[in-house]
A and B are shown apart, each in its own frame.
Chain A
Amino acid sequence: MLVTLSLSSLVLCAVATALLYYGMIGNLTASAQKKALCCLGTSFVLLSLLLSVTFIRDMEILVLRSWYLIPLCWSLLLISFLIYYKLRHVTLFIFVAPLCFILLLSAIIFLHQEKPMENLVVGPLLLIHLFLIFAGIGLMGISAGAGTLFLWQEKLLKNKTKLIHLPKNIPSLSALDRINLVAANIGFPVYTVGLVSGFVWAYMAWGRFFSFDPKEIISLIILALYGYLFYERKVHGTNGRKTAKLAIIVFVIAMFSIFVVNTFLPTHHSF
């Protein structure tokens, strides 16, 4: 069942990605956008079902890598729909849809290489830690997506690209910057609380807050950079190219942490 639901979600994300990119290149019509949103919405419902069933059946599922990536994908979709509800820009899914596809694909690939985490204390704090970290990463993804589109469109405008050659369905620079701003403003506090709850959980589980684990170190680096982005936004009112680049860097490091640190470095997150 886990595989079937995961595969169905994967296909839906792939279709949504294709629809969104085809639409972006060929000046997407509203109906294609709606279809893409429907696919992603259905994918979200399937993932919710999958998580509910597996969580009720076995809480220990939390410590499996596939489970780790699937809630991350679910959180990303949830956050995206919440931001979409607020800003009404389909564009943010241009980045979210392929990312969900990659996360689900990875989850399915890792399905048969799972090993349980050691000395695990599954409890509400771990759930809070995981959900907030995923939500924080999801918001990073949205910031990075908006930032990428910002840099692309900004380059076209700086190079005086003809109006007819500018993509028609990409929001204005200020709209993209606003997506970046909203995601960073929510994302940083969420990620911070998620990380702190992780340290508290570690103290409860292992008797120490910090153990110089590579995952912990890189998480603090991400927090510092994310904090810098948040500070620049809030205190200096920085916007545009600099914040777009920062958002992309933060997200790339977060992805590095998930896919490289978890897989190749000795860490208690490499389950």
Chain B
Amino acid sequence: MTRQENPADLEIEEKLSNFTHLRRLPEFGVILAFIILFTIFSIFATQFLTLRNLTGILTIVSELGIMAIGVAFLMISGEFDLSVSSVYAISGFLFVTFANRYNSPLAFIITLIIALFIGFCNGIITIRTHIPSFITTLGMQLLLRGSLLAITGGESVSYKSDTIMPVLLTKFIGYGFRPSHIWFCLLTLIFSLLLTRTRYGNWVFATGGNKEVARAMGVKTTRVKMINFMLSALLASLSGCIVISRFNLANASFGIGMELEAIASAVIGGTLLTGGYGTIIGVFFGAMITGMMRTGLVMMGAPAYWYQAFVGAILIVAAIINLKLSRIEM
């Protein structure tokens, strides 16, 4: 009886039960959440809807989001990477050190290669010893962070080299936009295509969805995981190089806790923590939400501490929604 009075509700319910609909646009939920939050901030924070603020948010979002893409891609294949925040910090240091000694393009390449090696170590340890990647990469995170703090003694290092990489990565290109914004969008597009439109993407889904089935069907699951561990470290490293080019300074405490923000972005974007499902476009908006919360709350006059609390709350809600959605599917 009450149903009939509310045809809109009924329509929504119908749409929810008809899953083909939603799966055609799995990012629906996160985009909706993004629009709602964006509207709220635009209304209640006066300076929010300005080009300067929005590009500022985009800068933070890009640095977090590039890392989150790698984390999510690996998560879809069924593994965690908690070491990204330390890879990020150590990459900044390596980049500055090598750039000051040689030049920035060479420093950039060397840094990425070292990051690939760290990702390789994460992968080989996880696969060979069968310990959960949660532990492997937590260990790697502490090991790298500790080493970095010990070697630098907590001192910062300034960037004193050419402007080639900083210009390519993050220097202003006008109206507050930076190349890192473009890189983030481009990487989102590339990884989204890789995941949904290539054979490799199909193997990533299968490896995370059911490793035994994937292997039985001829997918080289250990290779898929190895590659994804390396991609995760690579993107974290890129993100580290970008942030150091922006600050012209590397400090051993950069990025502490950022791995959790990256995982939160992935989960808010609809990635299943258990692997096998997720979208990169979703991660893009997940990172947008996370980054927007940071400035939006402050601009609304809330103390900066509330940022973590809100991200935490959204994360829990997102995880519950993800699980509910996958239950309806089952």
The answer on A and B forming one complex is no
Chain B residues at the A interface, C-beta cutoff of 8 Å: none
